[in-house]
């Protein structure tokens, strides 16, 4: 029997400040993942690199890509566009797991177009802890923090639209849990596709 499985399209979603980016980076240290770099119109932050964290483009370029039908999903979040190009699915054909971190809006779009996507929602320990994390960043105004907390509550209401939900109370444990989920899904019967050489069973 020849294993002809495709890679898994793994989608991580979490409220801003939950630790999703840290978890994503730890998962990418494992050789079974490739990161799908999204496009965005927001400004590049300190420490980020164009083409590695995001493809940073103007609103005009982004909207031209929308018209051209280049996005698997896209959404406007906190005043900026974010989107995933259809080309990000190509590594799946080579058996490579593609990792994508997007918001709930984006995930629901992806699930409609690619139902085999594996959705994992990451919970913060609490909204109080989430507020503390957002404040400690020093990147957001008080008004922005309130907006993000409001959005977090709305996103959390959609947790049951995902395949799995994980509480991030400790980054290392959460990373191990998510990696374990991916390994289990790779071996699940519903995802297995085998090419069976029936001649092998006919030999005496």
Cα separations in angstroms, 55 against 43, 51, 123: 11, 5, 27
**Which of 117, 110, 123 lies closest to 163 in space, CA to CA?**
117
The pLDDT tens digits of the residues spanning 76-103 come to 887 899 999 999 889 988 888 999 999 9
The pLDDT tens digits of the residues spanning 159-193 come to 999 999 999 999 999 999 999 999 999 888 666 65
Report the share of the chain in percent with pLDDT over 70: 88
Query: 125 pLDDT band (50/70/90 cuts)?
Result: confident
User: Does residue 56 register a pLDDT over 50?
Assistant: yes
Say what the pLDDT of residue 137 is: 75
* Structure tokens that stand for 185 in this block: 């899904």
Interval 119-129 mean pLDDT: 91
Question: Which helix (H) or strand (E) segment is 9 a member of?
Answer: strand 9-13
User: Does residue 146 register a pLDDT over 80?
Assistant: yes
**Which of 129, 154, 175, 157 lies closest to 25 in space, CA to CA?**
175
Q: Which residues contact 111 (CB under 8 A, 6 or more apart)?
A: 117, 119, 161
The beta strands (E) that lie in 14-117 are given as: 33-35, 39-40, 55-56, 71-77, 80-85, 97-101
Say what the pLDDT of residue 202 is: 53
Cβ contact 171:119 at 8 Å: no
Query: 196 pLDDT band (50/70/90 cuts)?
Result: very low
Say what the pLDDT of residue 1 is: 37
Phi, psi of 54 (to 5 degrees): -150, 165
What domains can be seen in the chain, in order of their start residue?
Answer: 2-36+97-202 (3.40.50.300)
Question: pTM of the entire structure?
Answer: 0.81
The pLDDT tens digits of the residues spanning 102-123 come to 999 899 999 998 888 999 999 9
Interval 54-67 mean pLDDT: 97
The pLDDT tens digits of the residues spanning 17-44 come to 898 989 999 999 886 789 999 999 999 9
The beta strands (E) that lie in 86-180 are given as: 97-101, 118-123, 164-167
In this structure, what DSSP letter does residue 43 have?
Answer: P
Phi, psi of 192 (to 5 degrees): -75, 135
Phi, psi of 136 (to 5 degrees): -70, -20
Phi, psi of 15 (to 5 degrees): -60, 150
User: Does residue 67 register a pLDDT over 80?
Assistant: yes
């Amino acid at each position: 029997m020849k294993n002809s499985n495709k890679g898994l399209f793994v989608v991580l979603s979490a409220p801003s400040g939950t630790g999703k980016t840290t978890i994503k980076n730890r998962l990418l240290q494992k050789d079974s993942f490739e990161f799908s770099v999204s496009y965005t119109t927001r400004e590049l932050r300190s420490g980020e690199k164009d083409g590695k964290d995001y493809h940073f483009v103007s609103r005009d370029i982004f909207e031209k890509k929308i018209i051209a039908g280049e996005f698997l999903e896209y959404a406007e979040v906190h005043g900026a566009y974010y989107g995933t190009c259809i080309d990000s699915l190509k590594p799946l054909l080579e058996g490579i797991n593609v990792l994508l971190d997007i918001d709930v809006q984006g995930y629901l779009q992806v699930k409609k177009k690619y139902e085999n996507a594996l959705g994992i929602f990451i919970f913060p320990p609490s909204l109080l802890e989430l507020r503390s994390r957002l404040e400690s960043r020093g990147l957001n105004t008080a008004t922005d923090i309130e907006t993000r907390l409001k959005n977090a509550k709305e996103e959390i209401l959609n947790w049951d639209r995902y395949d799995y939900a994980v509480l991030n109370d400790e980054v290392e444990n959460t990373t191990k849990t998510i990696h374990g989920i991916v390994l289990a899904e790779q071996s699940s019967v519903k995802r297995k596709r085998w090419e069976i050489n029936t001649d092998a069973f006919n030999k005496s």
